[in-house]
């Protein structure tokens, strides 16, 4: 690629973080280039069509906040012309199930349903009345310490911990409440109580988050693929950036591909890479920043897209999916009722489920062979969802570094990385290891990175 002008921006990484930054930079009139090491864009977002099924190997959907079109995701969808392909999850997605005592129970969506729910014991329910009077914790707290102190052990085990494994595939005993669930932390800080805060904000109950879950007719990969298609020649796949250097007031990125190597120059550079890959790239600039990036742990995930005939499945699949608390007798973190969520995901008369195993609490799941994983996952699904017979198909996918973990000290670590690299000028960092892990968070962060560069 040729050297570029004084407003040029090089984005390293063609996941949704990098592509969103590139898109919003282009909209601001910047000459932008993207270098992506794989031969496709999207990073962990990957959708596959197989035998009439639409399989997601990464995110199945993302949460669009209320106020259609007012958030970065809404703007990106509208500007890329994807509004007509955006699909909203079926209303049944408001139902979420949690396993307790080997059975699935709906998460209560109203105060009455909460009182009637067998998911929590009466002592646990009564304990909640005292929540507004619980005092402050000392220093930065883990999610587990915070939840147990405020809500009690049962809520930690059967509501908070499964939620944490559903979002982060994480362990609440190491994740920071302030970094990983800032909205929860903010409720407590502003209202003195989670419950008072939730009431004051008009929360929708425990059944689901405020907003709507969205995807695309062609699956989540539609979004990165469309952005890359519109950025056209500005996106180069198959180019791995191996080092960054500052020379004559500009940035130089050295890259390698299967057929050669080269150097790309730009005035600004956005490093939108997973933390370990970002560490390799900034190592020559700041070994300390690289060390801090490498200290951000990731949780591994095995995803299994499993298809059955509808008549094999006893459970009505009338919801988003289910979560499995750690104490329960099942190896799954949880599962999604993918063909309930969005129409057209499986041929008529069949259903598609997406099961997750591994995570920070069971990293060794990654090492099991396909046959063992398939047998265990299908066995768990059969018991939990009353399924008879074997699956029609199973598509396994292993991601050893799937989701960054915002552990204690995360925010200070990120601030220090920024402080170490800021004096170099014109270098911006952003991917799912900062500012939120959801697809919608990555897009919002991409938009604000673009604004900072501009």
Residues engaged in binding ligand FAD (CB under 6 A)? 12-18, 35-38, 43-45, 58-62, 240-241, 272-274, 277, 281, 301, 303, 399, 402-403, 431-432, 437-440, 442
Q: How many Cα atoms are found within 13 Å in the side-chain-facing hemisphere of 6?
A: 1
The nearer residue to ligand FAD, 77 or 272, going by C-beta atoms, is 272
d(CA 354, CA 48): 13
CB of 201 to ligand FAD, least distance (A): 21
The nearer residue to ligand FAD, 205 or 211, going by C-beta atoms, is 211
Which 3 state secondary structure label does DSSP give 156?
A: helix
| Non-local CB neighbours of 229 within 8 Å, separated by 6+ positions | none
Q: Where are the beta strands (DSSP E) in 153-249?
A: 212-216, 235-236, 240-247
The nearer residue to ligand FAD, 145 or 440, going by C-beta atoms, is 440
H-helix or E-strand containing 337? none
Closest by Cα among 194, 218, 273, 196 to 11: 273
CB of 18 to ligand FAD, least distance (A): 6
d(CA 318, CA 156): 25
CB of 37 to ligand FAD, least distance (A): 4
CB of 296 to ligand FAD, least distance (A): 12
The nearer residue to ligand FAD, 384 or 402, going by C-beta atoms, is 402
Q: For residues 281, 283, 286 and 292, what is the CA-based torsion angle, rounded to 10 degrees?
A: 90
CB of 149 to ligand FAD, least distance (A): 29
- Give Cα 310 distance to the centre of its chain: 29
Are β-strands 96-100 and 32-35 bridged in parallel, bridged antiparallel, or unpaired?
Answer: unpaired
The nearer residue to ligand FAD, 228 or 378, going by C-beta atoms, is 228
The nearer residue to ligand FAD, 149 or 204, going by C-beta atoms, is 204
CB of 403 to ligand FAD, least distance (A): 5
């Amino acid at each position: 690629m040729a050297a570029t002008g004084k407003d040029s921006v090089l984005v390293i990484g063609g996941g949704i973080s990098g592509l969103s930054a590139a898109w919003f930079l282009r909209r601001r009139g910047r000459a932008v280039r993207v270098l992506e090491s794989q031969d496709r864009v999207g990073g962990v977002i990957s959708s596959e069509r197989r035998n009439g099924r639409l399989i997601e190997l990464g995110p199945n959907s993302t949460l669009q906040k209320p106020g259609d079109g007012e958030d970065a995701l809404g703007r990106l969808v509208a500007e890329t012309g994807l509004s007509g392909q955006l699909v909203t999850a079926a209303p049944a997605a408001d139902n979420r199930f949690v396993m307790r005592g080997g059975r699935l129970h709906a998460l209560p969506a109203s105060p009455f349903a909460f009182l009637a729910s067998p998911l929590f014991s009466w002592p646990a329910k009564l304990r909640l009345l005292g929540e507004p009077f619980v005092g402050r914790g000392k220093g930065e707290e883990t999610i587990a310490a915070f939840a147990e102190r405020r809500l009690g052990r049962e809520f930690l085990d059967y509501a908070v911990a499964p939620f944490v494994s559903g979002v982060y595939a994480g362990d609440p005993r190491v994740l920071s409440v302030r970094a990983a669930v800032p909205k929860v932390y903010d409720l407590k800080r502003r209202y003195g109580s989670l419950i008072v805060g939730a009431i004051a904000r008009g929360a929708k109950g425990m059944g689901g988050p405020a907003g709507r879950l969205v995807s695309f007719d062609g699956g989540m990969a539609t979004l990165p693929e469309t952005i890359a298609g519109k950025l056209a020649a500005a996106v180069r796949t198959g180019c791995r950036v191996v080092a960054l250097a500052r020379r004559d007031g500009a940035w130089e990125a050295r890259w390698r591909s299967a057929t050669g190597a080269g150097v790309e120059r730009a005035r600004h550079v956005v490093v939108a890479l997973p933390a370990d890959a970002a560490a390799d790239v900034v190592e020559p600039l700041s070994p300390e920043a690289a060390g801090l990036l490498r200290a951000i742990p990731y949780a591994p995930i095995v995803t299994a897209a499993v298809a059955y005939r509808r008549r094999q499945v006893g459970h009505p699949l009338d919801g988003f999916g289910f979560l499995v608390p750690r104490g329960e007798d099942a190896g799954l973190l949880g599962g999604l009722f993918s063909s309930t969520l969005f129409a057209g995901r499986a041929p008529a008369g069949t259903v598609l489920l997406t099961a997750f195993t591994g995570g920070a609490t069971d990293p060794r799941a990654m090492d099991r062979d396909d046959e063992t994983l398939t047998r265990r996952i299908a066995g768990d699904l059969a018991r939990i969802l009353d399924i008879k017979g074997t699956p029609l198909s199973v598509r396994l996918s292993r991601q050893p570094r799937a989701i960054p973990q915002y552990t204690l000290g995360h925010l200070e670590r990120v601030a220090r990385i920024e402080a170490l690299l800021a004096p170099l000028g014109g270098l911006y960092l952003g991917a799912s290891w900062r500012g939120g892990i959801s697809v919608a968070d990555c897009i919002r962060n991409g938009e604000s990175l673009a604004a900072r560069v501009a």
